[in-house]
């Protein structure tokens, strides 16, 4: 049985946000959908782009909320309620300021670290923090006052390439991740540097 039934990639909808740092999670899900040969389709009742996929022999669901980042929980909550998915069966893929571009970290549970998408998901899942996180490093601009504009900008080419390589590398371990065989994925990904 799949440990993660729902894989959620965070981002903002609309062409102006495409390929911005904040959309790294959404990019990851788009790449996974291509790899799994399934099509993400707009699903009104889930407030997002949605697909059913078979990963590592397991049936699971892919989701990119189209609610804007700060309301991501509305979309996650809708899918979880419809399919009776528990918070610990959810993996959220998101951009992470606290790790540099070209790095990726995987963990179960934890706080929101100031990430508004995670904050909303935690509140909509009844303050449950047990979901998994795949954190794609985007680096920090250096000062808290610069964070909002930094995450909504496209990364320079070199950084963008590092983020893409991180996405590609972590997708190689997707079967393990979905099945909950996290230690192998963590051992490799936590020492990976694009």
70 among annotated binding-site residues: yes
Q: Which of 81, 136, 131 is nearest to 110 (CA)?
A: 131
Is 22 an active-site residue? yes
* C-alpha distance from residue 88 to each of 55, 84, 131, 177, 178 (Å): 18, 12, 4, 13, 12
Read off the tokens for 104.
């990726």
**Strand order from edge to edge, sheet including 132-137:** 41-43, 48-55, 58-65, 6-9, 90-96, 132-137, 104-108
68 among annotated binding-site residues: yes
116 among annotated binding-site residues: yes
22, 94, 115, 140: the active-site residue:
22
150 among annotated binding-site residues: no
9 and 63 Cβ atoms separated by less than 8 Å: yes
Annotated binding site for tRNA: 17, 68, 70, 116
Please list the active-site residues: 22
Annotated binding site: 17, 68, 70, 116
């Amino acid at each position: 049985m799949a440990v993660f039934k729902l894989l959620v990639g965070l981002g903002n909808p609309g062409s102006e946000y495409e390929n911005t740092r904040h959309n790294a999670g959404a990019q990851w899900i788009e790449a996974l959908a291509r790899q799994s040969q399934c099509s993400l389709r707009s699903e009104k009742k889930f407030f997002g782009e949605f697909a059913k996929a078979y990963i590592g022999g397991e049936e699971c669901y892919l989701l990119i909320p189209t609610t804007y980042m700060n309301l991501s929980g509305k979309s996650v909550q809708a899918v979880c309620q419809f399919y009776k998915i528990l918070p610990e069966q959810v993996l959220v893929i998101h951009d992470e300021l606290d790790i540099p571009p070209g790095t990726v970290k995987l963990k179960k549970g934890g706080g929101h670290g100031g990430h508004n998408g995670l904050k909303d998901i935690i509140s909509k899942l009844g303050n449950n923090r047990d979901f998994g996180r795949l954190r794609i490093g985007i680096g920090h601009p250096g000062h808290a006052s610069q964070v909002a504009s930094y995450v909504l900008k496209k990364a320079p080419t070199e950084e963008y390439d590092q983020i893409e390589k991180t996405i590609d590398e972590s997708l190689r371990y997707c079967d393990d991740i979905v099945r909950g065989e996290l230690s192998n994925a963590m051992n490799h990904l936590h020492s990976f540097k694009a």
